[in-house]
Amino acid sequence: MKLVMVLMLAALPLYCYAGLGCQLMGDLVSKTADEAVSIEEYVAFVSEFINTDTEREAVVNFKQCFLNQDNKTLENFLALEDIITDSLYCAPF
């Protein structure tokens, strides 16, 4: 499960880097950390990127992982995302 999470977090910034939409990346991060977004809503949001049942199961597990976290952990996750995107290395993008 940790490998799936690492792969998703590594692949999505590359999608943004390719110029295909950083707004999508921001929306995805927000929906990932938002406890009010259900698993079904989350799967519907990323459905265009899901091709197999295995990928769908990975997305469900990924969202469930974030639903299992406490509020402090989710706040730290969002703070880390802000730090990364506001960093010197991400400034050109």
- 36 found inside a domain: yes
| Dist CA 34 CA 64 (whole Å) | 11
Hey, what are 79's tokens? 């703070």
- 10 found inside a domain: yes
- 28 found inside a domain: yes
pLDDT at residue 20, as a whole number: 44
Q: Is the pLDDT of residue 93 over 90?
A: no
Q: How many domains does the chain have?
A: 1
**Average of pLDDT values for 9-19?**
56
Q: Is the pLDDT of residue 37 over 60?
A: yes
| Dist CA 12 CA 18 (whole Å) | 10
Indicate the pTM of the whole model.
0.69
Confidence of residue 91 (pLDDT cuts 50, 70, 90): low
Q: Is the pLDDT of residue 79 over 50?
A: yes
- 93 found inside a domain: no
User: Residue 64 belongs to what domain range?
Assistant: 2-85
